[in-house]
Amino acid sequence: MASYIEREVPGKTLKLWRTQLPRHFDGGEWDHNGSCVSDRLLEEHELDSWFGPRFGGVNKEARLVNSAIQEALVDTDIQLLNLTYMSEFRADAHPAIWLGKKDAVAVWGQDCMHWCLPGVLDTWVDILAARISHYFRQGDG
């Protein structure tokens, strides 16, 4: 994909590649008794046990894929927009427990792919806006 973008997208175009976002299932994946019911930020020392490939974390695939993406972007003009690490902390930002309805998780199940609490999405947008603004201030666009 990176070589296709390099070949087909005009050189002066701002090219960003966003990394995968983490899921926060604890105790297994969504279909194996995993739970996404968290009401707190993860501590930095907890991240590797949740996401580190060498520890078999529940979201190790995102870090592996992100590593491959980072390698693929070397020597290209595609900029990496890495939202993964900062988002790993926000196990509390999924809507499963915040739906405001009794037994929401039992009725609708876990939802660890969508982010609904304020802060996370706003930060992603702020980072994207800053990257775009920086690009145009440099006169590259």
Intra-chain end-to-end CA distance of the chain, in Å: 22
User: Which tens digits make up the pLDDT trace of 54-64?
Assistant: 777 667 777 88
Q: Please give the share of the chain, as a percent, with pLDDT higher than 70.
A: 74
Mean pLDDT of the chain: 81
Are 74 and 120 in contact by the 8 Å Cβ rule? The answer is no
Cα gap 23→36, rounded to integer Å? 8
pLDDT band at 10 (very low <50, low <70, confident <90, very high): very high
What are the extents of the domains in the chain? Answer: 2-6+16-137
- Taking residues 101-120, what's their average pLDDT? 68
Residues 6 or more apart whose Cβ sits within 8 Å of residue 27:
33, 34, 35
pTM for this entry: 0.73
Structure tokens at 65: 């894929």
Cα gap 104→29, rounded to integer Å? 19
